[in-house]
């Protein structure tokens, strides 16, 4: 599902116009992004949790040359599905 398809679904389910649904979807994504940038966890009961995970620095290899390279530590956003979402997907 694309962002545009999500907006149409939200508009249909909430019985609002697409412009309002687009603003609501954008505001939701922005709020989640802002929380993750501030290193906060976003927990939506019945859906799941968005949080940052830290990957430590490590050694890697360039597959073309075989040369060993250093890969810097990084922070990545992650999502863990909640119990209700897992159960719905497994039906």
CATH number of the domain that 64 lies in? 4.10.520.10
Residue stretches of the chain with pLDDT short of 50 = none
What are the structure tokens assigned to 9, written together?
Answer: 């679904």
> Within this chain, do residues 34 and 66 fall inside the same structural domain, yes or no?
no
Whether residues 35 and 62 share a domain: the answer is no
Q: Domain count for the chain, please give it.
A: 2
Residues recorded for the chain = 91
Burial environment of residue 86 by CB neighbours within 10 A (0 to 12, 13 to 18, 19 or more): exposed
pTM of the predicted protein model: 0.81
């Amino acid at each position: 599902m694309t962002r545009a398809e999500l907006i149409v679904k939200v508009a249909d389910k909430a019985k609002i116009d697409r412009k309002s649904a687009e603003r609501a979807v954008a505001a939701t994504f922005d709020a989640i992004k802002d929380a993750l940038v501030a290193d906060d966890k976003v927990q939506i009961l019945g859906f799941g949790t968005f949080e940052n995970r830290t990957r430590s620095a490590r050694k890697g290899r360039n597959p073309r040359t075989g040369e060993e390279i250093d890969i810097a530590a990084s922070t990545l956003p992650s999502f863990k599905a909640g119990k209700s979402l897992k159960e719905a997907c497994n039906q």
